[in-house]
Structures are given as structure tokens and as C-alpha cells.
Amino acid sequence: MSDRSLAQRRLPTGVTSRIVSHVGLALAALLCLAPVLYIVLNSFKKPEDIFQVPPSILPVRWTAENYESVFASGGFTAYFTNTVVITVVGVGLVVILSSLAGYGFAKLPFRGSGMLFAGILATLTLPLAILLVPMFIMENATGLLNTQLGLVLPNVAVCLPFAILIMRKHFADIPKEIEDAAEMDGAGRFRRWWLVMVPLTRNGMILVTVITTYSIWGEYTLAKTLATVPQAMPLSVGLTLLKSEVWEYGVLAAVITLAILPPIIIFLIFQRKIVDGVTQGAVKG
Amino acid sequence: MTARTLEPPLSRADDTVSVMIASGGRQSPQKRRDRVAGMLFVLPAAVFIFAFMLFPLVYSGYLSLTRYNFVRQSTPEFIGLDNFARALQDPIVLTAFANTAVYAVSYFVIVMVVSLSIAMMLFRKLRFSTFYQSAIFMPIVVPLSLAGLIFVWILQPNYGLLNHLLANVFGLPGLAQAWLSDGTTAMAAIVVLSLWATIGFLTILFLSGLQAIPEEILEAAEIDGAGGWRRFTEIIIPSLRPTFVITGTWGVLHSLKVFVEPMVLTDGGPGTSTLVLYQHIYVTAFNYFDMGYASAIGYLLGALILALVGLNYVVSMWKADKDV
């Protein structure tokens, strides 16, 4: 008993059940990776090879011409620019606003702050469908419809509740003594927040940055509603317009590959932090 | 240095005193400044959430009581609860509701069973577990609408990957078909896309729930001689209660908010066979510009979500007290 490892003690480790687990997990992993690999491989095929019957999984003749067409045509520049601008500005705002609010909720409770926090969390269950009509009417009236700012603002609002939840927890975990020490040095509230507290919530801010980047980069519903002309659309909506334009498939595969690459790269860099953070935020929050 | 190490207990006592004073109606200037500061820190985020969530929610509530064709009318016309009465008898709304129910039940049951199973397998910490975990979690970062495009391609009848595999690799050409042209297989495709995109996330939640079960509980079951299945149903499932509240809530929300998948894969078709409620709200509002009616259906969807989230909580915590 004592020389068995911790993991082995937890569940029976018959050879059969271990093989079943390996097969199950390998199959699940393959199914999860397959669609992404498929689109990446197709993006390196010559257009005529994509429609070959029967199709081949690996490119018969590797080529980068689809990527050359993407950059040469410039037809996707607006989609890329919109996605990048909306994501960068949106994430910046979410990180700043959630750090401010998270600190306020964690360290400076005021009358009704508990209720306000609960109310903000309750918005997580709201279906956006209820909000789309008023958002459209408001943005139409204020001229925000079909602008980048018009997509940044609602995205920020939608991402804030979860970000505040994470940041509040990270600020609450900072011992009171640390802030008290800064207070004795005579630093004001805002300077203490900026110089002492914010640097200590680095992990929380990374987590908020990464999660918000995914949310906004791939956001579809708001963009579908508030960007009604192609030049205002981000990738997530713009590319779906090409769904039935069959002759574009090689190029479309290349654009999709370019569009899903940034989130996947970020995932590969931060995956440990993301997995830990998501479980903490969800389970303990 | 000494002064600082002594400081904390003192300042805590000080806090208690000032809170007592504050609750008596008088506040120390320091405490009052802190409260005002707290409000100022929270204010910017609160403004965003008010402007883009709370205000639209109230506005939409008002619109749900009006007839408002955005293109033809300049102002909404108040009609009371007519929109709600109309929605409950509208055949398309009922179809969309039925489709949503079919989707929700299939998705919810499969996603819970599969992600818990995968989590149980990962929990054993086999060789390559880290790789498996990364691969299974990866789809959650792929933008859903673009994943939808990839699926459209995979399901394409003539040169798509799925029919190719069925006909040429597995030798089952009879199964190859135009997946998105038939109501049943189109709905199945929507469920599969959702599963692909979300199983990794729920697996991670279940895995962390499993890891939180105290070692002694699992060991005690082993000494009792409880077999694999009995241990699963009598020890592991009850211990995962808090996890089920979270994964269940998330699953309910995702089930009823499904929108991107049918928009990209099927546009609700063929016919209305994959039209879901969320999508019908969108179409009513932005294709027919019937915005009052769309708001009313939105509120019905919101009520349904609240009811099911509540139900999930009650079921997950059922008899929780007796077990502990």
C-alpha cells in the first residue's frame, strides 16, 4: 500500500481500464485537434486539389499561394484591422476598469456594494438576445452603429462582470498589512492602488487579459447585430459571409488559419495559467 | 520595523471601533473617505454595465409592451401584454421552442456525460495526460463562428472530410450524405459543433472538482471494498455537488443561448428545422424589424433561463444535507 503512488491509490489501475482510458483520451484529443489541422492543411493545398475527388488529407502539392492571395488582394484587411483594434482597445479598457472596480469591491466596501456586486454577477446569466434590440436602437441614434467604438463599448460591458469577479478575488487575497504599510508612507488612495496593489495582482491581470482577448476576438453576436456593412465587420462575422462562395475556399482556409492562430498561440503560451485561473474563477468564485 | 509588525492587530481593532461608530450614524472622516473612494473606484465599470446592460434590459422590457416596427414607425405604440399572448400562440415561436428543447436536452446530457467521463480518465494521471488535456481544452479558444465554417466544410457532401472518411476510409459509402440538408442530421451537426467547442471547458471544471475531493474519502471507500461503479455513484457523484451546480448552470445557459452554431451552419434550415429561440429573436428584430415582439420573446427566453438555472441548483443540491 505504502509504495503505491498517490495517483494509483485514487482509482483502480487494472491494465484493461488503463488501456480503455488511453484509447478514450487519445480519441477525444484527435477529434478536438482534427478540424483545426484540417483547415490548416487545406490552406496549403492548391485550389484545384481542394476539390479533388476523393479528397486527400495531406496536401498533394504544398503551396503558399493561398496566403499570397490573402495579402495581395487586401480584401480581408478591414476585417483584420477591425478585429485587432476592437480586441486591443476592448481588452485594455476591461483590464483597467476591472482592476479599479475589483479593488473597490475587495478593499473599500461602501453601503450597497455587496448588492451592487451581486447585481453585476447576475448579468452573467442574461441572454444577450434581450439586449440586442435596445443596443441597436441606441447605437443607431448616437451614430455608433458600424463603428469600431460601437463594438468596443458593448464588448467591454459584456466582459466586465467576469473580469471584476476575478480581479476582486485577487485584490482580496492581498494581506491588509501590505496596504497599511503603504498608507503609513503617506501615499494616497489612488497612488497606493497604482503603485502597490496593481503590481501584486499581476496574475489576475494576465488571466483577465487572456480570457477577454478570446471573448472579444471571437465575439459574433454583438458584431453580427451592430456591424451591418462589411467594412465595419470583424473576422468572426465577415468571414461567414463567404460561406457559400466556393471558389474562395483555398483563400478562405488561409484567412481562417490566420484568424484562429493568434488565440491558439496565446493558449499555448499561457495554458497553465488559464486552466488554473478558469477553475479558480469558476469554482471558488 | 517593530512598529510596523505591531501595527496590524491595532489597526484591526481600530476598524472594528470605527465600524461600530459608523453603524451608529457617525462616521470617522477616514472611513467616510474610504467609502467615497470605493464608490469612485467602482463607478467607471458600473457606468459601462448600466449603459450597455441594465438600461437596455429595462428599455427592452418597455419595448416588449409595445408594437414597434423599426422601419415603419417612428415611435413605439403601447399595446400591453399582447406581444406575450401572441408569442405563446405563434406556431414559429413554438417550433423554435421545440427545436431549442431538442437541442438543449441532447447537448446538455451528452456534454455532461462525456466531459465527466473524460475528466475521470484524466484524473488517473496516465502518461501523456498533459498533452491530452491541452488538446481537449484547445477548441474553447477557437472563435466559434470560424469553427462553424470549418464544420460546414467538413460536412460538405462532395469534397468534405466526413463523407470522404465514411466512404473511402471506413468503407461505409451508404452513410455518406448531405448532412446539413436534412433536419435531423443538421440538428445533430449543431449539437456536435457545440460539443466540440465546449467539452474541454467542462472537462477542466469537472477535473478540478475531482481533485478537490479529499483523499480520505476515496480511501475509505476502497477499504470498505466498494467497487468501481458503486464508488462512482455513492462517493464521487455526491462529492461533486458544488461542481454540478457550476457545470449545470453553465450547460443550461449555453443550451438556451445557442445562436452562433445554427446561424453559421444552417441559418435555421432546412425550413425551420433548426431554428432556435435565440435565432428567432434575432430574425424577428433585425430581418423583420418587429422589435417590440422580439423583445417580448427575449423576455420569455430570459424567464426560461432563470427557471432552469434555479431548477439545476435545486436538483444538484437535492438531499445534500442528509448525505453529509
One-character DSSP codes across B48-84: HHIIIIIHHHHHHHHHTTEE-BTTT-SS-EE-TTHHH
* Chain A residue nearest residue B169, CA to CA: A54
Distances (CA, A) of A199 to A14, A55, B56, B119: 49, 53, 35, 35
A50 to chain B, any CB pair closer than 8 A? The answer is yes
Query: What are the domain boundaries of chain B?
Result: 2-63, 86-323
Banded model confidence at residue B17, pLDDT cuts 50, 70, 90:
very low
| Contact across the interface for A39 and B150, Cβ inside 8 Å | yes
At residue A154, the pLDDT reads 97
pLDDT range class, residue B124, cuts 50, 70, 90: confident
What architecture is the B86-323 domain classified under in CATH? Orthogonal Bundle (1.10)
Q: What band does B71 get if pLDDT is binned at 50, 70 and 90? A: confident
Secondary structure (DSSP) of chain A: -TTS-HHHHHS---HHHHHHHHHHHHHHHHHHHHHHHHHHHHHTS-HHHHT-SS--SS-SS---HHHHHHHHH-TTHHHHHHHHHHHHHHHHHHHHHHHHHHHHHHH---TTHHHHHHHHHHGGG--HHHHHHHHHHHHHHHT-TTSHHHHHHHHHHHHHHHHHHHHHHHHHTS-HHHHHHHHHTT--HHHHIIIIIHHHTHHHHHHHHHHHHHHHHT--HHHHHH--SGGG--HHHHGGGGTT-GGGHHHHHHHHHHHHHHHHHHHHHHHHHHHHHHHIIIII-
CB atoms within 10 A of CB B189: 24
Which pLDDT tens digit goes with each residue over A262-275?
999 999 888 877 77
Amino acid present at B323: D
Compute the nearest-CA separation of A72 from chain B (Å): 22
Local structure of B28: helix, strand or coil: coil
The pLDDT score that the predictor gives to residue A118 is 94
Give buried/exposed letters for A75-85 (b at 16+ CB in 10 A, else e). ebebbbebbee
Which CATH superfamily hosts domain A76-248+257-284?
MetI-like (1.10.3720.10)
pLDDT band at residue B182 using 50, 70 and 90 as cut-offs: very high
Rounded-to-integer distance, Cα A60 and Cα A52, Å: 10
Report CA Rg, chain B.
26
Closest CB to B159: pick one of A55, A235, A271. A55
Residues B9-35, mean pLDDT to the nearest whole number = 54
Q: Which residues contact B59 (CB under 8 A, 6 or more apart)?
A: A134, A137, A138
Give pLDDT, residue A280: 63
Judged against a pLDDT cut of 60, whether residue B43 lies above it is answered with: yes
- The structural domains of chain A, with segments of one domain joined by +, span 6-27+36-68, 76-248+257-284
Mutate: best of B35, B53, B70, partner A, most A CBs <10 A: B53
Q: How far apart are CA B32 and CA B310, in angstroms?
A: 38
State the smallest CA–CA distance between residue B322 and chain A in angstroms.
23
Give pLDDT, residue A162. 93
Classify strands B77-78 and B66-67 as parallel, antiparallel or unpaired: antiparallel
CA separation for the pair B219, B298 (Å, rounded): 49
Residue from B10, B57, B142, B277 to probe the interface with A (highest A Cβ count within 10 Å): B142
Is A26–B132 a contact, with Cβ atoms under 8 angstroms apart? yes
| Whether B141 and A26 lie within 8 Å, measured CB to CB | no
Q: Among partner residues A18, A131, A157, which is closest to B48 by beta-carbon distance?
A: A157
Measure CB to CB from residue B278 to each of A103, A127, A136 and give the nearest one.
A127
pLDDT band with cut points at 50, 70 and 90 for residue B24: very low
For residue B48, the chain A residues in CB contact (below 8 A) are 97, 153, 156-157, 160
Cis-peptide into A134, omega within 30 deg: no
- Give residue-wise pLDDT tens across range B191-229: 999 999 999 999 999 998 998 888 888 777 777 766 777
pLDDT reported for residue B280: 96
Per the prediction, chain B carries an average pLDDT of: 86
Contacts with B, A 225-254, CB within 8 Å: 225, 235-237, 239-240, 243, 249, 252-253
Position A3 scores a pLDDT of 41
Taking contacts as CB-CB distances below 8 angstroms, the residues of chain A near B159 are 50-53, 55
Q: Rounded CA gap, B97 and B276, in Å? A: 7
Phi first, then psi: give them for residue B269, nearest 5 degrees. Answer: -95, -175
Average pLDDT over residues B286-297: 96
Closest to A109 (Cα-Cα) out of B188, B216, B113, B22 = B22
**What string of pLDDT tens digits covers the 285 residues of chain A?**
344 444 444 455 578 888 889 999 999 999 999 999 999 999 999 888 887 777 777 888 888 888 988 888 777 899 999 999 999 999 999 999 999 999 999 999 998 999 999 999 999 889 999 999 999 999 999 999 999 999 999 999 999 999 999 999 999 999 888 888 777 777 778 888 888 889 999 989 999 999 999 999 999 999 999 999 999 999 999 999 887 766 678 888 999 999 999 999 999 888 877 777 766 655 443
Average pLDDT over residues B55-63: 96
Disruptive mutation site among A8, A19, A32 for chain B (greatest number of B CBs within 10 Å): A32
pLDDT at A56: 77
The neighbouring-strand residues paired with B69 are: B290
Cα–Cα distance for residue pair B218/A156, rounded to 1 Å: 44
Closest in A113, A133, A256 to B146, CB measured = A256
Residue B167: per-residue pLDDT: 87
pLDDT of residue B139: 94
Q: B205 and A32 in contact by Cβ < 8 A?
A: no
**Residue of higher predicted confidence among B261 and B24:** B261
pLDDT of B23 strictly over 60: no
Integer Cα distance of A201 and A95 in angstroms: 11
% residues pLDDT > 70 (chain B): 89
pLDDT, tens digit, for every residue of B138-160? Answer: 999 999 999 999 999 899 888 88
B97 contacts in A (CB within 8 Å)?
Answer: none
Backbone phi, then psi, for B78, in 5-degree steps?
-70, 125
Which residues 182-221 of A have a C-beta within 8 angstroms of B? 184, 189, 193, 214, 217-218, 220-221
| Contact with chain B for residue A86, Cβ under 8 A | no
Hey, which residues 138-177 in chain A have their CB within 8 Å of chain B?
Answer: 138, 153-154, 156-158, 160-161, 164, 176-177
Integer Cα distance of B201 and B166 in angstroms: 29
Decide if A263 touches B, using CB distance below 8 A: yes
Tell me which chain B residues have a C-beta less than 8 angstroms from the C-beta of A218.
142-146
Partner-chain residue, chosen from A42, A136, A177, that has the shortest CB–CB distance to B8: A177
User: A71-75, A121-125, B168-172, B292-296: lowest mean pLDDT where?
Assistant: A71-75
Q: What percent of chain B has pLDDT over 90?
A: 60
Is there a contact between A255 and A236 (Cβ–Cβ < 8 Å)?
Answer: no
Report residue A103 as a C-alpha cell: 479593488
